[in-house]
Amino acid sequence: MQEVNQRASKSLLDSGFITQEQLTEITAYRKRNIFSLNAELKLFLYLSVIAFTTGIGMLIYDNIDTIGHTIIIGLVFILMLVCYYFSFKKAPPFKKKQTEFESPVMEYIVLTANLLTCIFIGYLQVQYNTFGTHYGLVTIIPTVIGLLSAFYFDNKNVLSLSITGLAAYIGLTVNPQSLLQNEIYNTDSLSYAAIGIGIALLAWNFYCNKANFKTHFSFIYLTFAQHLIGISCINNLIDQEMSFLFFIILAATTYYYYILSYQLKSISLFVFMIIYGFIGFNIFFFTLMDQINFADFFSFLMVFSPFYSFGMVYLFIQMVRKFNTEIKK
C-alpha cells in the first residue's frame, strides 16, 4: 500500500501538482504511520445515542408504577429541550450547501433530540391519548420535526430517520418477520404508496440538484427510493394481475439506476440495481410462461436451472468487476 501511495505522489510531482519539498513532507508524514480514528469514534457516538435512548425506554418500562407518568414525561421533555438548546446554540448559520458543526459530537446531540421527540410524543399518545384516534399524528409530527431538523442542522442520520417515519406514516412496515412471511406490504394501496414515495424522493432529489439545495443528501434519497420502488414492484409482480405495468416501472427504474450508478460511481446502487432487476425479470418471465402454459418448456427449465443459476452468478460477478474497473479510470 505504501508503494502505491508513493507512486501516486511521484506522479503528482511529475505532473507539477506538488513540489519536491511537498513530496518530502508527504513521505515523512506517511512514515509516521498515523491513522485516523474518526470513523470508529463516530460509530461509538452513534452506539452511545442508541444505548442512551434505549435505556430511557427500559427505565420507563421497568419503573412505570414507581416513578409516575408525570415525572417520566417531564424528564424526557427536559432532556429533549436541553438537546435542542445546545443544537441551536452550536449550529452554524443555515445554508443551502453543506454545513458542519465545529464538533462532530453535536451531530449526535441533534440525533438524540429527535429520538427523544419520538419518545415524548409516543408517550403522550400511549399514556394520555393526547391525539385521540388520530394515530397518524403520532408519526407525522416527529417526522416533520425531524425533516426540519435534518435540513437546518444538516444531519444525515436524522434525515434517514425522518424518511423512515414518513414511510411509517402511511403504514409501511419492514421487519425480519414480515420479510420471511412475504408480508412487507399487507395491502395493495401500501405498495402503490411505497412506489409513490420512491418516485417523490427521486423528484425531490432532481429538484435539489437543480436548485443546488443540500445536494450531499442525494445518496440518501436515491437509496430509499431504490429499495421502496424495487421491493414494491417485486411484491406486485408476484401478487397482482397488473404485473406488466409493475415490470415496466421496475425496468425503467433499473435502467435509470444503471446510468446513475456510473455517474455517481456508486457500487451499492449498481449492485442493488442488478439484484432487483434480476429478481423482477425472472418473476415476470416465469409468470408469463405459466400463463402461456408451456409445460414442456418448464420441464426443460428444471433441468437447465442449475446451469442458469451458475451463469447468473458468474455474470453478476463479471458486471461488478467491470463496473469497478471502469469507475476507477
- Mapping DSSP onto H, E and C, the string for 279-300 reads HHHHHHHHHHHHHHCCHHHHHH
Q: Which amino acid is at 313?
A: V
- Do both 207 and 292 map to the same domain? yes
Mean pLDDT of 237-260: 88
Q: Yes or no: say if 300 and 253 are a contact pair by the CB < 8 Å rule.
A: no
Assigned domain for 162 exists: no
DSSP calls for 64-123: HHHH-HHHHHHHHHHHHHHHHHHHHHHPPPP-SS----SSTHHHHHHHHHHHHHHHHHHH
**80-100 burial, b if ≥16 CB within 10 A, otherwise e?**
beebbebbeeebeeeeeeeee
- Do both 22 and 104 map to the same domain? no
- Do both 26 and 77 map to the same domain? no
Assigned domain for 217 exists: yes
Distance (Å, whole) CA 88 – CA 92: 8
The pLDDT assigned to 126 comes to 80
Assigned domain for 164 exists: no
Nearest CA among 148, 10, 2, 127 for reference residue 69: 127
Q: Which residues are CB-neighbours of 243 under 8 A, at least 6 positions away?
A: 236, 237, 283, 284, 287
Assigned domain for 306 exists: yes
Distance (Å, whole) CA 206 – CA 141: 26
- Do both 122 and 19 map to the same domain? no
- Do both 56 and 117 map to the same domain? yes
The pLDDT assigned to 185 comes to 44
Domains in the chain: how many in total?
A: 3
Question: Among 132, 155, 178, where does a domain finish?
Answer: 155
When pLDDT is cut at 50, 70 and 90, the band that residue 244 belongs to is confident
- Do both 192 and 326 map to the same domain? yes
Q: Yes or no: say if 91 and 103 are a contact pair by the CB < 8 Å rule.
A: no
- Do both 180 and 320 map to the same domain? yes
> Can you read off the three cell numbers belonging to residue 192?
402503490
When pLDDT is cut at 50, 70 and 90, the band that residue 72 belongs to is confident
Between 215 and 27, where is the model more confident? Answer: 215
Nearest CA among 230, 234, 236 for reference residue 268: 230
Least confident of 102-106, 206-210, 225-229: 102-106
CA atoms within 13 A of residue 318's CA, in its CB half-sphere? 6
Assigned domain for 76 exists: yes
Q: Which domain holds residue 134?
A: 40-155
Give the number of residues written for the chain: 329
Least confident of 10-14, 106-110, 166-170: 10-14
Distance (Å, whole) CA 178 – CA 184: 5
- Do both 79 and 133 map to the same domain? yes
User: Does residue 25 surpass a pLDDT of 90?
Assistant: no
> Can you read off the three cell numbers belonging to residue 36?
485516523
261-304 confidence digits (pLDDT tens): 999 999 999 999 999 999 999 888 877 776 776 666 666 666 67
Distance (Å, whole) CA 105 – CA 48: 11
pTM tops 0.85, yes or no: no
- Do both 221 and 325 map to the same domain? yes
Q: Which residues are CB-neighbours of 264 under 8 A, at least 6 positions away?
A: 218, 219, 222
- Do both 69 and 138 map to the same domain? yes
DSSP calls for 205-272: HHHHHHHTSSGGGHHHHHHHHHHHHHHHHHHHHHH-S-HHHHHHHHHHHHHHHHHHHHHHT-HHHHHH
- Do both 318 and 270 map to the same domain? yes
Assigned domain for 196 exists: yes
Distance (Å, whole) CA 151 – CA 270: 27
Assigned domain for 280 exists: yes
Q: Yes or no: say if 327 and 265 are a contact pair by the CB < 8 Å rule.
A: yes
- Do both 95 and 187 map to the same domain? no
User: Does residue 259 surpass a pLDDT of 90?
Assistant: yes
Distance (Å, whole) CA 91 – CA 88: 5
Assigned domain for 24 exists: yes
Mean pLDDT of the chain: 82
